[in-house]
Amino acid sequence: MLAEILLELRNLKTKFKTYDGEVKAADGIDLTVHKKEILGIVGESGCGKSATALSIMRLIPSPPGEVHADKMELNGVELQSLTEKQLSKVRGSEISMIFQEPSSALNPAFTIGEQLIEVLILHQKLDRGAAHRQAIKALNLVQIPAATQRLADYPHQLSGGMRQRVMLAMACACMPSLLIADEPTTALDVTVQAQILELLCQLQSELNIAIMLITHDLSLVAEIAQRVAVMYAGVVVENASVRNLFAKPRHPYTQGLLASLPLLNAERERLNVIPGGVPNMLNLPKGCRFHPRCPHCWQICRQQEPPLFSQNGSEVRCWLFAREMNK
């Protein structure tokens, strides 16, 4: 089952110049998103997952940011060569993005109807009446009850879950081919989180969009994604199908993350702990970035950074697999 490639990202480097030195938020990221798939990107805070997403959207402010990739193609179009005008056409209609905090992503001074209609008029060149009808359709799509009345509501009149639905309606109104969801459920309650996840799955199958789900919660990815990329300190350390990753996590970091999650069935008396903390991005350890926290660290890990080893579509950045997998 090899679907067409939608987004191809090769060797993405996103740097920020700070007073203390250069921070490489993304340091050579390779990612591929196929059409109609849900790709989960998992990592702890500061590992560069949001920086990667913003780089794809070309939303990193420069200065202090600096984005460079060998390849950043969406549907065969190199995003880095586009002008600002061409870009704003791509954003919203080809790629759209939703964020963690829906209340700060919506403008408090306009009704959600005005904000939704604006998107439709700008991108689809609809007239006001058609845009209004389309906006109601979009709200129905994300299962907001009494859509016509809700159009006249201001963001503060809606609950957090409803606001995130509005964001989704706005993001999907122009039928993008890629939706980047950056921690879409982190600010929500578990019951509402489950509803939003279900909605994401539905949107993906009904509208045939690909979703890049960025989260810190591995279990969310297990719920809805087909493939997962695990990130650590600016690099992808493991990239595999969901089934493979959870059945047989390869990278010691992935193993550690999975073992540190509390489980519901109370089989785990004590949580496994990854010792230490995330490294300072200004001063990364030499060799493998994970080696100071790794239980399997050996000589080469301290000296040389491991490349991505791959086998049967799974990729892992760890010297332990140098023999059994291909470079």
Partner 1 sequence: MSNLLEVRDLKKYYHLGKGVGKEQANVVRAVDGINFAVKKCETLGLVGESGCGKSTAARVILRLLTATAGEILYEGQNIELLSHQQLLPYRRKMQIIFQDQAGSLNPQLTIGSALGEPLRIHRLVIGKKELKAKVEHLLELVGLCSEHMCRYPHELSGGQRQRIALARALALNPQLIVCDEPVSALDVSIQAQIINLLQDLQHKCGLTYIFIAHDLRVVNHISDRIAVMYLGKIVELAGKKALYSGAKHPYTQMLLSSIPRLAPAGQRQRTIFSGELPNPLHPPAGCHFHIRCPHAFVRCTIEEPLMQMIDSDHNVACHLLDK
- Site residues for partner 1 per CB under 8 A: 44-45, 159, 161-162, 189-195, 197-198, 216-220, 222-226, 242-243, 246, 256-258, 260-266, 268, 270-274, 277-278
Contact 34, 63 (CB under 8 A): no
CB of 193 to partner 1, least distance (A): 7
CB of 220 to partner 1, least distance (A): 5
Q: Which is nearer to partner 1, 33 or 218 (CB)?
A: 218
CB of 218 to partner 1, least distance (A): 7
33 Cβ contact list (under 8 Å, min separation 6): 5, 6, 7, 8, 39, 178, 210, 212
CB of 159 to partner 1, least distance (A): 5
Q: Which is nearer to partner 1, 87 or 258 (CB)?
A: 258
CB of 279 to partner 1, least distance (A): 11
Query: Which of 210, 133, 229 lies closest to 171 in space, CA to CA?
Result: 210
CB of 187 to partner 1, least distance (A): 9
Q: What's the rounded Cα separation, in Å, for the pair 54 and 65?
A: 11
Q: Which is nearer to partner 1, 70 or 189 (CB)?
A: 189
The DSSP line for 45-78 is TTSSHHHHHHHHTT---TTTEEEE-SEEEETTEE
Q: Which is nearer to partner 1, 122 or 278 (CB)?
A: 278
The DSSP line for 131-167 is HHHHHHHHHHHTT-SSHHHHTT--GGGS-HHHHHHHH
Work out the angle at residue 223's Cα, subtended by the Cα atoms of residues 220 and 225, and round it to the nearest 5 degrees.
90
Q: Which is nearer to partner 1, 70 or 198 (CB)?
A: 198
Q: Which is nearer to partner 1, 88 or 195 (CB)?
A: 195
Q: Are strands 314-316 and 309-311 parallel, antiparallel or unpaired?
A: antiparallel
